[in-house]
Structure 1
Amino acid sequence: MEKRFFDKVEDNAAVRIWAETTQQEKGDSLTGGYVSELWNFSRISVTQNNLQEMKEIWGQWDDEVKQLFYCHYGDLPYLLDVKIDEHLFRALAQYWNSAYSCFTFGKVDLVPTIEEYTTLLHWPKIQVERIYSRPANVPAFSKKLMNITGMSEQWVTTRIKQKGYCKCIPWRNLRDLILAHPDVKKRVDVFALSIYGLVIFPKALGHVDEAVANLFDRLGKGTTHVPAILAETFRSLNACKRAGEGRFIGCAQLLLSWFHSHFWKVEKVSYRIFSENYSPLKELVATPRRDDVTEENWMTVLRNLREEDVEWRAPWMVPDEILYQYRGFDWVPLLGVWGAVGYAPLLSLRQYRSRQFTAPTYGLA
């Protein structure tokens, strides 16, 4: 990783020796010979917000406004066009192995990584060392909304709703504001907030949660949102796996985009040409997909995956250094908007076309 993370950059051999020594000294928190348990059926719900109105608003904007959005928030709008294959998603969720924080298909282990999600979202203004964490003293929800929307306290407070234990603002109020706000930059900001609340962290359907506004409030300072997205993806999958049911509240669009980037191998792809304006998510959205495969057939396909079926390193990924530990941890704690989870990227070194070795996992569980 870069020197702003650590005192020095470690080469592969040094990391391997450190990992093996640490694993021998501290032991392993994972059960030996663990095999992911596959449920016979799934009650996981992939119920999503209706994004048609957001698509229509985006389609009405001219190139200048869209470019303003891309400049500040990257390729988020392409997520609106990612079709959710519920049969594939439910089958994929069966293979989530919470003990390893990865997907286990037979003998193939893969996991979405910070580096992959950062590349997919293509957000130019983030600083990878500024990982989101909720400040101890945060402004009131109304104050954050006033800052983001530029509206009065009265306008904001009359529109805040209570959903269970959480405060939210309805999408219909944000939609009306986007359509009528005289400040173009504020329209762009509110639209981005809506994508975060309805697509990336869709907890209360039709509403943007207060916790999402907490994260959004930090984005202007260059804070990276990727670890929070991964944390909530992993946490939601874990919760559904343990209960055998539940609604997935992570970003299903990003997870499926990641999946399609690794399966299956193709002879020629256009990802080989990289430029500053290249968008892997845009190309993934434009790629035709079959949508007539049943969940049972997807389960059969995933059970029979072979190593040669896997594109280990996503073809749009540029080789780079990876974050494999953080401060006193032998792995990386990911802080989400509602909680935290452990993440061990050394378990997925093959995705970086590196030699896989036993990674330290003490304390990860």
Structure 2
Amino acid sequence: MPEVHNLIEFGKLLKGKKRRDFDKKYGNVLNLIEVNVQVEAITTLSQFYDPQFRCFTFSDFQMVPTLEEYEQILGYSFKNIKPYHYKGHYPASKMVASLLKVKQDKLEKYMKSPNGVYGIPLSYLNERLESFHEEGDWAAFADVLALAIFGIVLFPNIDNHIDFAAINVFLAVRNERQNPVPTVLKRTLCCLSALSVWLITHIFHSGLRASCPILDFKQCFVKPKNKFDWGRYLGDLSEKTVRWYPKWREVGTVIYQCGTFPNVPLLGTKGCIYYNPSLALRQLCYPIMNSPEEDSSLTASFIVHGIDNKDIEEHRRVRKAWNHIGHRGRELGKRSTDALN
């Protein structure tokens, strides 16, 4: 778990219009850092991950975080906004220095490289946040606070270190209004706050018809459990006990495929992988008609491991596919959370 105490305190300084402007620009990231993550729950959940179908397989059902769910958890809409895509290079240190309002040579002295990964220590961003607060430069304060959250919560890599992959996503969101949801979803087991909200709101009932997923999560009031208790709890889940379709997940159409891909390719900070919406139909209130074994598109392999020159063509193909998004709605069947086979 990242150390977010200082970021929470900095976030409390944004009030009224400053907070509303931040949320409009960066979604729910400030709310996410206040999510109380039970690490034992996520550790146990990871043992249910099925690499063949890229989902979580429980006793008699399967579930997978969806684009539509993460869209609401993170607070970024796909309406008129293209997803993040890697352009083939990371931002120059000069651009990052401009964001932090420091000289380039001074910033480069702080750009440490743990394990060969260049970036910025969280401690240095904390110093810049203190300075911007004292100066009353709230625009810069908001941007740097969001950068820190992107680096250690949405796209963590090394403890207390914001690497250039995370910085690249942040700048794409800030400067070009790109959507980070597919990139976060591609790294499902990395953003623990978002995954915790997804898990808890599926398997516990808050009794509240909340239109906000994070509020729904907080209203579930889940008591701390150890690994043994979480293992027993998740092992006993059944299709009849999970919450398939809370109020905040109500959607009309879903992103079902992109371009000529049979599924939805997710372009991350390091590569690409498939996401299979047909496994998540019950979470979107549509019936599942066939078992995964009968759907060849689910077992189709598509993995791009890196961002080197040899991978650029595949990245380009994925970006082009996202210009032709295939939505489905009523043609998927009558609204239902049944599995018909």
TM-score (norm 1): 0.75
Is contact 2:67-2:181 (8 Å) kept? Answer: yes
Corresponding residue to 2:217 among 284, 297, 314: 284
Pairwise CA RMSD: 1.9
Is contact 1:232-1:338 (8 Å) kept? Answer: no
Asked if 1:108 is matched to 2:48, the reply is no
Corresponding residue to 1:300 among 219, 232, 240: 232
Amino acid at match of 1:203: N
* % same residue: 26
Is contact 1:133-1:335 (8 Å) kept? Answer: yes
Corresponding residue to 1:145 among 96, 120, 144: 96
Map of 2:84 onto structure 1: 132
Q: Which runs of 5+ in 2 are unaligned?
A: 303-341
Aligned-residue offset at 1:305: 1.2
Corresponding residue to 1:154 among 96, 105, 114: 105
Asked if 1:337 is matched to 2:289, the reply is no
Counterparts of residues 8-47 of structure 1 (less than 5 Å): none
Asked if 1:361 is matched to 2:298, the reply is yes
Map of 2:164 onto structure 1: 210
Aligned-residue offset at 1:323: 1.2
Matches of 1:285 and 1:338, distance apart in 2: 32
TM-score (norm 2): 0.80
Asked if 1:232 is matched to 2:171, the reply is no
Matches of 2:182 and 2:3, distance apart in 1: 26
Aligned-residue offset at 1:257: 0.4
Aligned-residue offset at 1:107: 1.2
Amino acid at match of 1:363: A
Matches of 2:243 and 2:220, distance apart in 1: 17
Amino acid at match of 1:264: F
Matches of 1:135 and 1:196, distance apart in 2: 19
Map of 1:194 onto structure 2: 148
Bigger relative contact order (CA 8 A; separation at least 6): 1
Matches of 1:88 and 1:139, distance apart in 2: 36
Matches of 1:286 and 1:305, distance apart in 2: 20
Is contact 2:257-2:263 (8 Å) kept? Answer: yes
Matches of 1:283 and 1:313, distance apart in 2: 12
Q: Which runs of 5+ in 1 are unaligned?
A: 1-47, 238-249
Aligned-residue offset at 1:362: 4.9
Amino acid at match of 2:218: V
Matches of 2:131 and 2:218, distance apart in 1: 30
Matches of 1:67 and 1:57, distance apart in 2: 15
Matches of 2:6 and 2:219, distance apart in 1: 20
1:155 alignment partner, SS class: helix
Is contact 1:334-1:341 (8 Å) kept? Answer: yes
Matches of 2:187 and 2:99, distance apart in 1: 23
Is contact 1:160-1:168 (8 Å) kept? Answer: yes
1:60 alignment partner, SS class: coil
Matches of 2:98 and 2:253, distance apart in 1: 36
